[in-house]
Amino acid sequence: MIDKTFDELLSAITTKALRGDPVDRDELLAVLASTDDDLLDVIAGAGRVRRMFFGRRVKLNYLVNMKSGMCPEDCGYCSQRLGSTAEILKYSWIDTDEAAQHARSAINAGAKRVCLVAAGRGPGDRDIERIAETVAVIKGSAPQVEVCVCLGLLKQGQADRLRQAGTDAYNHNLNTSAGNYARICSTHTFSDRADTVAAAKAAGLSPCSGAIVGMGESDEDIVDVVLALRELRPDSVPVNFLIPFQGTPLGGHWELTPQRCLRILAMFRFAFPDVEVRVAGGREIHLRTLQPLALHLANSIFLGDYLTSQGQPGRADREMIADAGFVIEGFDQPTQSARPRDLVITRHRGAGTTAPANT
């Protein structure tokens, strides 16, 4: 592989991803290590993969922060962490009516998925019941909307209860590689996180799990977390760019360039050709004027604001999608088309074989 020119390598990676075949570790590392001179070629290759599996559709997701701040965990990137002095909104659980009202306005603005998120290590059973009620109210007025819940580490039986209540998906990000995990958090482990994603999936919830980049990790760390995610077989993969809140250990840490963000998104697309890749937190502040190029790589974004920071106006998100020639994915369109690789069955009967023809 090393003997190939980057152009040859990129073409081989694109062909593999278009077939839905796994792109390997060295190939993913090569995408991350490519130069700014190669960037448009990388976007063109990954963009072909994106269009093959998702056309020009962009799925809109909307975050409702159900309970903000005062988390006992110490994730270094998080403005809601233990000891954070970031000037964020802090409040306890909002009620069902308020959550449903936010969900309704997001659905009216084009959101296909509503994500109910609460800060904390994990929910108590009362919290699960509170969320179950909110899910029921949202689904009662908009049965077609996807509801994803993100409450931290789950205990036995909680994923089943969420599923029973009509929850569609559960989000829990792996965030960074197993090897880098202790550097960003000391109150829980990488395996705790992976176990929760597996438990959610086992309960029939659609697993949503992704990463945060821009925390001082190496290319190897990013590829390691991608490979760990691939083993969990998520249905959606959010890619967050660190929002370096002052008052957190990573406050003021700016290491990403828009070009680097695009290479990272392209690498995620090659790694997850037919899986929803979502540009998540930090889109506006890191990609800046290059945001529309990200739509050629990711097929999903958050509409409007993030958990504790503001995004660009929802109208600007919708205009950007239209200007770049993409369309907002509707409720009647599946996020993932039937996977072409699953539909193709190689013929082993009829002409050229000794097996009877299919007549």
DSSP three-state, residue 249? coil
Among 9, 75, 86, 264, binds ligand SF4 (CB under 6 A): 75
**261: annotated binding-site residue?**
no
- Core vs surface per residue 152-169: b (16+ CB within 10 A) or e: bbbeeebbbbbbebebbb
Select which of 57, 113, 115, 163 is catalytic: 115
Spatial separation of the C-alpha atoms in residues 65 and 99, rounded to whole Å: 9
Please count the residues of the chain.
359
Q: Does 234 bind ligand SF4 (CB under 6 A)?
A: no
Among 123, 152, 214, 311, binds ligand SF4 (CB under 6 A): 152
Q: How far is the CB of 246 from ligand SF4 (least distance, A)?
A: 16
Part of the chain binding ligand SF4 (CB under 6 A), chosen from 29-37, 38-46, 73-81, 160-168: 73-81
Contacts 24+ apart (CB under 8 A), 178-182: 178/224, 178/228, 179/221, 179/224, 180/217, 180/218, 180/221, 180/224
Select which of 50, 57, 75, 261 is catalytic: 75
Q: How far is the CB of 153 from ligand SF4 (least distance, A)?
A: 8
**150: annotated binding-site residue?**
no
**75: annotated binding-site residue?**
yes
Q: Does 73 bind ligand SF4 (CB under 6 A)?
A: yes
Part of the chain binding ligand SF4 (CB under 6 A), chosen from 75-83, 224-232, 234-242, 293-301: 75-83
Q: Does 243 bind ligand SF4 (CB under 6 A)?
A: no
Spatial separation of the C-alpha atoms in residues 228 and 225, rounded to whole Å: 5
- Please report how many Cα atoms fall inside a 13 Å half-sphere around the Cα of residue 99, on the Cβ side: 27
The binding site for ligand SF4 (CB under 6 A) comprises 71, 73, 75, 78, 80-81, 119, 121, 152
